[in-house]
Every structure is written in structure tokens, then in C-alpha cells.
Chain A
Amino acid sequence: MTAFRLASRTIRRYRAQTGLAVAGVAVIGALLFDMLLLSRGLLLSFGDLLDRAGFDVRVSGGGGMSLRLPIPDSSSLVAAIRALPEVRRAAEIRIQTAILRTRVGRPVGITLVGADGANEGGWTIVAGTDLTALPAPPPRCPLIVGRPLAVQLGVGPGDAVALAIEPAGTATALPSLECRIVGVAQFAFGTATDDTVATTLGAFHEAAGEVGEDEAELILVSSTREAGPMAAIEAIQRVRPGARAYSNEQVVEQFNRNGFAYFRQISLVLSSLTMAFAFLLVATLLTVSVNQRLGEIAALRAIGIGRARVAAMLLWESALLVGGGGLLAIPLGEILATGLDRILRQMPGLPEQLHFFVFEPRALAIHLVVLATTAIAAAAYPVWLATRLPIAATLRREVVG
């Protein structure tokens, strides 16, 4: 008759109590699981988006990743980077606000991205063709329009539009450029109201009226598998000592410190609270259960059943209650996370493919460790009560009672 068997028989005997405890722990555990998914979900999702974009190093002229300064003489830097043995490919990126005017619609403000070689991973074509697969002769100004904008404007591949660069807060008299939409795409970081439009660097320069200006906002670099991003960064900094290069991990870490610490703190506070609730629930139910069974436990001790077996029995009872609830908490937490994720992703300005709740094995491992710790902690007082009870006095009280 092992302690486990005694415990499992006990919790089966007190079905209502067991049901309440398991349900309570399942609900609390689901919240804990969700907090664990939330604590690093954005970071994981953000890192995943960066990785999926197909580049593992980002180069800017300074100011960090959130406030990027233009990179002077960027064309020569891109050429030098492309020549590095640590680099597989590199893309030069220009970003500017602009106005897009359809033949029938009113003008809309857009974010124009001039990209040279960024198509692979930067966006996914959902209709039409990519900038790299244009029919000959290529249009003078080919455009890839983000899906939400295409829907909003009612345009698609083959439609002609007029594009005019209009930097924010600056009055310009730049002429419009006649462009043709060649594709509709889902941009990696596109939001639900995404206004991004991509074109070739040549078309971007033409639209911006740039002659001899050579200042990209960003250079995206993909390192070779053998070298890896850190070696590529070192090589880039040797080529251009002033350039700021960051690996995806460093970008994520930077956002972790600055942008996402808020979620981690909230998640830490809420997960601590949920575990305190789980601890209180199980500790209370076990204490009540032990108090109901004091006579039984005193008799067990009187007939020579050792403290260790009594303690092990109660620990198993706690483990079974918390374990049962904890296991139910995982699918319950997943369902809850899916719903909450859907709600949170409706916040404006967020990339459509960014998720708040992301599963990772680490979260499951922490979930299990925290629950195991809770089970042990919750059993501590009932175990102390059962193993330290005065046998004779308890038996006397039971008989008199």
C-alpha cells in the first residue's frame, strides 16, 4: 500500500472536494500558463517575424533600431557588404512618406519603401508578380501594394496609379510619377491598416527626385550559415567602422529591454498572483481535509504508520490535485490564449502577424515546475499538521467529540 495509492484512494473518496480543487487549479493554472505565454510571446513573435523576413543583420547609420539615422554613402557600403565572405545577400532600403492617387479615387498617404533585393522574405506576394519577376520590358515604376491598402483602394495588379513623394512636415513640389501595380503582398510587419507600398530603388530615387543622394535608412543583411550574424557584424564594422549593425537577437534584446519589459512585468505580477491563489486554494482544501481526518490520521500514527508515509500521502494528494488541475490548465490556457490573442491583435498599428501569446517548451517547463512547487508548498502546512499532531490528545478529542 504505497503513499501514492493511499492518496489516490483518498482523493477519489472525497469527489466533490477533489472536483472543486482540480477545477480551481485548472482555471488558475490556465491563467498562469497564459501569463507565461504572454511574458515572452511578443518577443518570440517579433523575433520570428524578423527571422522570417530572411535577414539576420540590420545596419543603420546610428541612433539605435527605433531611431534610425540615414547611412551616408550607402550604395558603396552595400556593395562592400555584398562582397564580404560572411554575407550571403544584402538589401538597401529607403523609406519615405508619399501620396498615392488612383485614377478614380482620392489621394491617400502611404509609406513608400524603396528596396533593392529585399523581396525575399520582406513580403509575400498574394497576387500578381514580385519586383524581381517583372515581364520585359519592366515598367518604369513597378509597385507592390500591401493587401489592406489594395482592398481599401480597390486596386490590383495591372492598375495604374500616380505616386508623389511627400515627406512628413515638408512642402514639396515634386511631380507625380506614373506607376503600375505589379503585385499585392502581405508585408512581414504589415498591420491590419497597412499603408506600405514597395518599389525598386530606381523608381524610389526617381519619385524622390534624387540625383546623387545616397543615404539609405537601412541595410538588411543575410549572413552565410557558416559565418553567422555576429561574424557578419564584425566584418561590416571593419568595412564601415561608424555603421551600427545589429543581429536579430540584439534587436529583440533591445526591444525586450525597452519596448516589451512592460508585458514581462505584468506577466510576472499576474503569474505570481495566480500561483498565490493556487497555493491558497490547495492549501486550504488540504488543511480542511486533514482537519476532517485528524482522528483517522492519529489512529494511523498510533498503529505505527510512520510520519514519512503520512507526509508522503499528503504530498501525493496535493500533487494529484495540482497535477490534475495543471494538466487541464494547458488546453484550457491554449483556448483562452487564442481568444485573448485575437482581442489584443485588434489593437491598431500592430503587425498582423505579431502574436501576444506564443507557445514555447520553456513556458510548459516553467508551468510544470511552478505547479510542482505550488503542490509542495501547499502541502507543507497540512503535512506539518498531520505529522506533528499529538496522537493521544487527538484520539481523546475524537472520542469525546
Chain B
Amino acid sequence: MTIVDARAVSRVFPMPAGPVTALRSVSLTLSAGEHVAISGPSGCGKSTLLHLIGGVDTPTTGSIVFEQRDLSRLSEPERARIRLMRIGFVFQRFFLLPMLTAAENIELPQAEAGVAAGERRARTRELLEYVGLADRADHLPSQLSGGEMQRVAIARALSNRPALLLADEPTGELDEETSAHIADLFDRVNRDGTAILVVTHNPALASRASRRLVMTSGRVLA
């Protein structure tokens, strides 16, 4: 079943020196449970495509349909609800809230979704065990290593059981060994049924995907 259907998507950024075309008529489909990696040189439009699929940006032309809903026709609150419930985001810089513990960071999207407190705590415990950080629940991000922070970020992305996990350079700030652990975790998440679209420069991480795409100059080559 197709969960993402991007058709002839272009994105042009207006700049003082003139418009910059980041994406040129890109079409892409993603099926449920699929694991796709996108690679390419910096500035080729990988992150822009990821942002458009994640509904945090809208295409200049073309359409992105996520689970039968055209994202560009939705209001920001509607897109925020889809991001909250159906899409998980993992960022290169983790972006955990520094004043919240690991467990609280994971609980936050559930609280926004209106999950009851008891259920939230149980789900959070389950996710912390899932990412191997059950003993770090009460630690602040500043007390965690980079790899641990990224694992908490992945747990946070999974907290509302999304259909799709979007990861933008998730190993960009990690060493090789930690990156391998994160790649293992992504494999496990995917095996458990969540589709993954990962944008990465890391060939080892990209090699884990079932489908690998390469982008250059705003176009998907393969």
C-alpha cells in the first residue's frame, strides 16, 4: 500500500539574488513498511524533499499525497496533526528539549496527542527499553552521549506509532560505531513495520535500505 505519493514536486526558494530551485519535478512513491535511503551531494535537495514529504514545507508545484491526503491542501494545524500521529521525525542534531529528561522528551508528543498519563508512561518505558535506554529515563539530554540522544530522538519519533519515520542525516553527528548502532535500530524499527525514509551521506546507513535513491541538482537519478 502506498503511503507517500509525490508527483512532479518542485520547490523554488525566493532569494534576494534570485530564485533558487531546490527540487525539479521530483516524483516518488513510498509503500508501507518500505525502507528507502536518499543520498547525494550537499545542496542537491535531499532535505528539502524530506521536509516536503513530512509536511513541514509545501511544494511550489506538484503534489504530495500522504495516506490519501494531499498535504498542500491541508491547513498547518491539519498537517501538524498528521506529523504528530502518522510521521516521526529524526534530526541530525537530535533537537531534544534540554530541560526535559529522556522519558519526558518521549512523552511530549504523546501528551500533545492527548494520550492518558498512565498509558503515556507505559509506552515511554516500552520505547526506552526498545532503544536500550531504560536505565537513562531520568537523565537530561546533557547527561547523554550523542548516540544515546539520537536513540531518545528515535524513541520520541516512534511514540505515537507513526506509519513513516523521516530521518535527516541521523548519523551526521555520530562516530562510525555509534552510527552502526543507530543503523541497527532503524533496521529493527523497519522490521517492526514502520516505513523509513532516510536522507544520508553515510554509505553504511544507506546500504541498510531496501531501496536507494541518489539525488543531484534537485532531481532523483535512480
Contacts and interface: CB of A to CB of B under 8 A. Distances in A.
A327 to B, nearest CB: 23
Chain A interface residue number, banded:
20 to 34
A395 B56 contact: yes
A304 B85 contact: yes
B92 interface: yes
Contact of B84 (A12, A305, A395): A305
Interface string A382-401: 00000000111101101100
Taking chain A's interface residues, is the majority helix, strand, or loop, or is none over half, making it mixed? helix
B77 interface: yes
Contacts of A296: 95, 97-98
A303 B84 contact: yes
Interface stretch (B105-113, B185-193, B203-211): B105-113
B136 interface: no
A193 to B, nearest CB: 61
A301 B76 CA distance: 10
A304 B109 contact: yes
Given A1-B104, A399-B169, A303 B93 contact: no
Interface string B27-48: 0000000000000000000011
B56 A391 contact: yes
Given A1-B111, A399-B169, A392 B95 contact: no
Contacts of B160: 304
Given A305-B84, A392-B51, A399-B169, A300 B56 contact: no
Nearest to B117: A1
B156 interface: yes
A286 B210 CA distance: 46
B77 A10 contact: no
Contacts of B82: 304
Contacts of B104: 1
A395 B81 CA distance: 19
Contacts of A332: none
Contacts of B221: none
Interface string B66-98: 000000000011001111110111011101011
A62 interface: no
Contacts of B57: 390-393
A140 interface: no
B222 interface: no
18 contacts: A1-B111, A2-B111, A9-B97, A295-B95, A296-B95, A299-B95, A303-B109, A303-B157, A304-B85, A307-B77, A391-B56, A392-B48, A393-B57, A395-B47, A399-B91, A399-B92, A399-B93, A399-B168
